[in-house]
Structure 1
């Protein structure tokens, strides 16, 4: 009886708990990670079940559209009858036979990978939508409980940007109680921490911190405080004043159009590329095993992402001026060479050695070129 309960538990956790947990984990990430464990156990459990069902529905639609696009039967070993048969075996405290196991395990693992990947993607995308300025300002029902994020990061309506302006950082003046007297500090907010139980501020960290030094005539001067980060605990804070600093937003209609085209192409190409994992036969591509198909997909996805960043650099050079194309170019060359062993032309280690030699050769050329340019100035 105990073994039967364990099998059912594993089955339910795999299908109805893990997808929802992954979705919630990526939705409550970054500055909202403490909200992942907030709320009573039953509430979190119900949200996890609901999230898992949502992921299963979206994954089913994804597999359905992939089947229509490629006009092929996906995961042929998985069907309603197969799942029912395995579930009946577990219900009767039996395990699938070796023949049944080896007939379905590969497709079942691919199916689980797709569901879990969809959970991560939906959670990440939902977070991006929830913290967008429009949703934060006009759809408060989707706002996180960590209200400090919206005030500290300039995500409130009162953070007026003006025409052709965009948010840069937040400055603050903080009045604190110290040694029976009050002092005021000013600086840029670099980070903050909140209490996981009630979302109240625990401490705030400032950069370029200065202290207000008042003179006898009522005037004051700002005295710089040495150090990189200045921490102020919330229990000493009497008042906080926030100032949102904006910067000029470089907008070119043509660049913006190319930006959206680049991002849309990357999103569509990524979905099509990742969908090949669930297609048994890809025309003109013969892989010796699923492992090589997986490496092909991931390697191609990395190359696609690096090409996307190169286009970003040239579309908006002002925004990505700190990024250089040369490291991306070297990485693309390194990744392209990996197709030699992925398509089984040569072995992995020989290909890897060739990659390292070419990488060093190109890197040396770039270094010498940079030195020559610097010397000529």
Structure 2
């Protein structure tokens, strides 16, 4: 039995864990934005795969007449090549191909649901932003900065919900140095480096500097400005919160704005 077959068999066994892991890392937390490879993915997927397979095997053997022959699976994994033992194993697989496929497809779907449910649970309660649950934190650190969720670690559970909008000042390496300012609208991650690819700001303005030390400020026509990360030297972030609202129509009171300091 060759190495390629053993590799395929291991991938097949850990497919459940891979499906769970990829469903957990989705949306802004996609696994595509994490520097990884097939070996690392298998290592991170094999533990939940083994646990779920063990649970599923117990359920199958307790509720049906089928029995999972783990010794045969182990023999194939270690690369056994006994010509008298290998053919009966594959004959047994062929004879039960339908229930085997049903078992694996059903368990993979279950793994996807578990991964999605776990992510929804963690994100819904903002557990990944709390200090004592830091092990649940996703690798996408930009998300925590650009949503203000990192404030939860200092201000309390779901404190970032108080933030109404986020202002950014982006220092770039364009010309003598240009600072672009505006409301943070969105950001995109690089699929190759795993870092920030670009940010989008709303109602942009810019401040330029001359060799004589003079500064020039002007608004930029247009609603949005896209700034590639390759041109960014530094980013200043300010979180704003509206306090109160103009509820009395007989006066000219207006809601005030408070800068939330990190």
**What interval of TM-score do these two structures reach, taking the shorter chain for normalisation?**
0.5 to 0.7
Partner of 2:67: 79
Measured in 2, the distance between the counterparts of 1:147 and 1:141 equals 13
Q: Does 1:150 align with 2:139?
A: no
Task: Structure 1: give runs of 5+ residues left out of the alignment.
Answer: 68-72, 249-377
Partner of 2:44: 47
Measured in 1, the distance between the counterparts of 2:216 and 2:33 equals 45
Q: Higher relative CO (CA 8 A, sep ≥ 6), structure 1 or 2?
A: 2
Measured in 1, the distance between the counterparts of 2:117 and 2:137 equals 15
- After TM superposition, give the deviation of residue 152 of structure 1 in Å: 0.9
Q: Does 1:192 align with 2:188?
A: yes
Distance of aligned partners of 1:23 and 1:247 in 2 relative to their CA distance in 1, 3 Å threshold: farther
Distance of aligned partners of 1:116 and 1:182 in 2 relative to their CA distance in 1, 3 Å threshold: same
Q: Does 1:174 align with 2:167?
A: no
Partner of 2:248: none
The answer to which structure has the higher strand fraction is 2
- After TM superposition, give the deviation of residue 99 of structure 1 in Å: 8.6
Which residue of 23, 27, 33 maps to 2:24?
A: 27
Which residue of 86, 94, 98 maps to 1:106?
A: 98
8 Å contact from structure 2 (residues 33, 190) kept in 1: no
Aligned ranges for residues 177-326 of structure 1 at < 5 Å?
177-194=173-190, 196-197=192-193, 199-206=194-201, 208-212=202-206, 223=219, 225-227=221-223, 229-244=224-239
- After TM superposition, give the deviation of residue 116 of structure 1 in Å: 0.6
Q: SS at the partner of 2:86?
A: coil
8 Å contact from structure 1 (residues 154, 167) kept in 2: yes
Measured in 1, the distance between the counterparts of 2:234 and 2:90 equals 69
Distance of aligned partners of 1:146 and 1:37 in 2 relative to their CA distance in 1, 3 Å threshold: closer
Measured in 1, the distance between the counterparts of 2:25 and 2:38 equals 16
Q: Does 1:121 align with 2:91?
A: no
Which residue of 136, 149, 171 maps to 2:129?
A: 136
Distance of aligned partners of 1:105 and 1:247 in 2 relative to their CA distance in 1, 3 Å threshold: farther
- After TM superposition, give the deviation of residue 169 of structure 1 in Å: 5.0
Which residue of 1, 9, 12 maps to 2:10?
A: 12
Moved more, 182-191 or 154-163: 154-163
- After TM superposition, give the deviation of residue 203 of structure 1 in Å: 1.8
8 Å contact from structure 2 (residues 22, 31) kept in 1: no
- After TM superposition, give the deviation of residue 240 of structure 1 in Å: 2.2
Measured in 2, the distance between the counterparts of 1:8 and 1:235 equals 43
8 Å contact from structure 1 (residues 169, 245) kept in 2: yes
After superposition, the C-alpha distances for 1:213-246 in whole angstroms (9 at most, x for unaligned) are 69xxx9998735315x421122333442323456
The answer to which structure has the higher helix fraction is 1
Measured in 2, the distance between the counterparts of 1:179 and 1:204 equals 19
Task: Structure 2: give runs of 5+ residues left out of the alignment.
Answer: 209-213, 244-262
Q: SS at the partner of 1:192?
A: strand
After superposition, the C-alpha distances for 1:68-100 in whole angstroms (9 at most, x for unaligned) are xxxxx6343x2135x656877986331568797
Measured in 1, the distance between the counterparts of 2:220 and 2:169 equals 14
After superposition, the C-alpha distances for 1:275-311 in whole angstroms (9 at most, x for unaligned) are xxxxxxxxxxxxxxxxxxxxxxxxxxxxxxxxxxxxx
How many residues align? The count is: 228
Measured in 1, the distance between the counterparts of 2:175 and 2:216 equals 20
